[in-house]
């Protein structure tokens, strides 16, 4: 299979926070890979803007080192790297002052796409947006990309939306969630809406329950100060897991177009029932053997912030009435994995008796590692001796199905940045979607704060708190095992 490389229009991309960790690890290496594949016109330019004192040569040296560190060796073509670096420029800019803005304005060209990536904290969004217009750097066709966290609650999210709306139209604002750029997430929509095999079964009549798991092996690390003010609910559930839930539960949009898709996602969020306290489990990882605990990592011995959360949700509409959605995410767990498991109901009557080997059909969508899909079905075990049933996987992993092309699947950031240049907002969140998500999230957080709930401790390297297992066991179900 030969992948089609579709070039984009000539562009000037300005990255505010161009010396930061995200720019070095993801944005610039991703842009280099797109350049290597011939997707970026050679005359396009990437301009980094930050507070550090640096010239073009110094910045190019920094990004050369980032490419060596974060791009696989087989993609490090020295000639292409130097061509890519020659398209980079650097401007020292004071985001809240006047220094550097005139110089940045002078670098912008007419007749090309202008895009501005806000790889900075939300507190700077307003100041940058205001100056982009005050110095006539942005025009009515410009696009801005903003990173999470988009607000800390509904009030702050609304304030951010209002701030950006003072300077940019909603069609110009690209709120990025890198989970939506993952190949498997987009294939979820293809599997649902391009195949008659699944969509007729995608409802409460046929699906017993759905599990969404995002597990990490690392702790909060150097993000302790930020993380202790957010926790797993704000950091993961309100955005990443919510987006996955929407794509699973949404109705078919009339077309694969930005507002058509986002309208259906918004309906899912608005249909979510409030979550009962008994359907929520919050945890903090302990110290383990020779390690540090969550309380050590955030340097707050009285912290009530969760590093793990599991919860049961219901979508109150005709399609999903009675089908629970189980979500869990946490740090310092047994394995790093992100997956969605669609667990189908058992047949209404088994002609084979009650065999222990018989299990429900499960469609597993793996986001990481080893992106792909796996459908578990029950078949007869080969050989004589009667009808013995066994469970086997129908593997749809990209590596095996697509061969060498699977090795070249673009990183989520690569795809999403190219969508910004194309002006395609389908995989980006809309303002009302963000606000609806916070409107559902806020009462849950306020509830456990009002009750004074404390997270329970769990062992590092485990699957999480024992209470999370009971969340499923009381319903006669089990979490899928998080495998190493």
Contact between residue 198 and residue 315 where contact means Cβ atoms under 8 Å apart: no
- Burial (CB count within 10 angstroms: exposed 0-12, middle 13-18, buried 19+), residue 146: buried
Length of the chain: 484
H helix or E strand, kind and range, residue 422: helix 412-422
Q: What is the rounded CA–CA span in Å between residue 415 and residue 216?
A: 23
Contact between residue 343 and residue 209 where contact means Cβ atoms under 8 Å apart: yes
How many H-runs (helices) and E-runs (strands) does the chain carry?
Answer: 17, 15
**Residue matched to tokens 């690890």:** 25
Structure tokens at 448: 């456990």
* CA dihedral (16, 17, 22, 26) positive or negative: positive
Q: Rounded to whole angstroms, what are the CA distances from 295 to 60, 162, 225, 285?
A: 39, 36, 11, 8
DSSP line for 251-298 = PPPSSSSHHHHHHHHHHHHHHBPPPPGGGEEEEEE--TTT---HHHHH
Structure tokens at 410: 């673009």
Contact between residue 17 and residue 147 where contact means Cβ atoms under 8 Å apart: no
- Burial (CB count within 10 angstroms: exposed 0-12, middle 13-18, buried 19+), residue 81: buried
**Residue matched to tokens 């980006």:** 428
Contact between residue 68 and residue 77 where contact means Cβ atoms under 8 Å apart: no
Contact between residue 129 and residue 163 where contact means Cβ atoms under 8 Å apart: yes
> Could you confirm whether 209 is annotated as catalytic?
no
Structure tokens at 449: 């704060």
**Residue matched to tokens 């996602």:** 265
Closest by CA position to 50, among listed 85, 8, 94, 14: 94
Kindly report the number of other CB atoms within 10 A of residue 296's CB atom.
Answer: 14
**Residue matched to tokens 């130097």:** 82
Catalytic-labelled residue, pool 240, 314, 349, 358: 240
According to DSSP, the β-strands at 11-16 and 324-330 are unpaired
Q: What is the rounded CA–CA span in Å between residue 28 and residue 36?
A: 12
Closest by CA position to 323, among listed 204, 403, 422, 230: 204
367 secondary structure, DSSP code: E
Closest by CA position to 89, among listed 66, 44, 57: 57
The set of catalytic residues is 240
């Amino acid at each position: 299979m030969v992948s089609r490389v579709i070039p984009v229009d000539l562009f000037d991309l300005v990255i505010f926070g161009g010396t930061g960790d995200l720019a070095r690890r993801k944005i610039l290496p991703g842009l280099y890979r797109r350049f290597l594949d011939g997707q970026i016109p050679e005359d396009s330019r990437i301009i980094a803007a930050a507070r550090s004192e640096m010239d073009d040569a110094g910045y190019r040296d920094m990004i050369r080192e980032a490419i060596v560190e974060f791009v696989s060796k087989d993609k490090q073509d020295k000639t292409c790297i130097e061509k890519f670096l020659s398209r980079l420029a650097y401007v020292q800019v004071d985001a809240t002052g006047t220094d550097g803005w005139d110089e940045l304005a002078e670098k912008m060209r007419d007749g090309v796409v202008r895009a501005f990536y806000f790889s900075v904290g939300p507190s700077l969004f307003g100041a940058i947006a205001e100056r982009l217009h005050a110095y006539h750097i942005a025009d009515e066709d410009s696009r801005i990309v903003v990173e999470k966290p988009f607000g800390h609650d509904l009030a702050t999210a609304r304030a951010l939306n209002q701030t950006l709306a003072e300077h940019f139209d909603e069609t110009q604002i690209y709120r990025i969630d890198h989970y939506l750029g993952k190949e498997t997430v987009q294939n979820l929509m293809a599997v649902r809406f391009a195949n008659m095999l699944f969509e007729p079964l995608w409802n409460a009549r046929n699906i017993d329950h759905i599990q969404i798991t995002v597990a990490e092996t690392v702790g909060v690390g150097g993000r302790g100060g930020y993380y202790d003010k957010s926790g797993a609910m704000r950091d993961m559930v309100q955005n990443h897991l919510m987006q996955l839930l929407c794509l699973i539960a949404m109705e078919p949009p009339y077309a694969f177009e930005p507002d058509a898709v986002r309208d259906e996602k918004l309906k899912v969020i608005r249909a979510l029932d409030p979550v009962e306290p008994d359907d929520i489990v919050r945890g903090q990882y302990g110290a383990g053997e020779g390690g540090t605990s969550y309380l050590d990592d955030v340097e707050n011995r009285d912290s009530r912030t969760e590093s793990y959360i599991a919860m049961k949700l219901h979508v109150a509409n005709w399609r999903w009435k009675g089908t629970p959605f189980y979500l869990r995410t946490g740090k310092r767990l047994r394995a790093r994995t992100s997956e969605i498991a669609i667990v189908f109901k058992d047949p209404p009557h088994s002609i084979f008796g009650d065999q222990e080997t018989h299990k429900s059909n499960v469609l597993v969508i793996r986001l990481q590692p080893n992106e792909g899909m796996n459908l578990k079905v029950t078949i007869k075990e080969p050989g004589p001796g009667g009808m013995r049933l066994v469970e086997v996987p129908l593997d749809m992993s990209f590596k095996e199905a697509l061969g060498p092309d699977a090795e070249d699947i673009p990183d989520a950031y690569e795809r999403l940045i190219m969508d910004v240049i194309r002006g395609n907002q389908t995989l980006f969140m809309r303002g009302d979607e963000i606000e609806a998500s916070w409107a559902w999230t806020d009462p849950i957080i306020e509830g456990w704060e009002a009750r004074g709930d404390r997270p329970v401790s769990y062992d590092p390297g485990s699957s999480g708190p024992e209470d999370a297992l009971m969340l499923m066991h009381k319903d006669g179900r089990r979490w899928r095992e998080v495998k190493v």
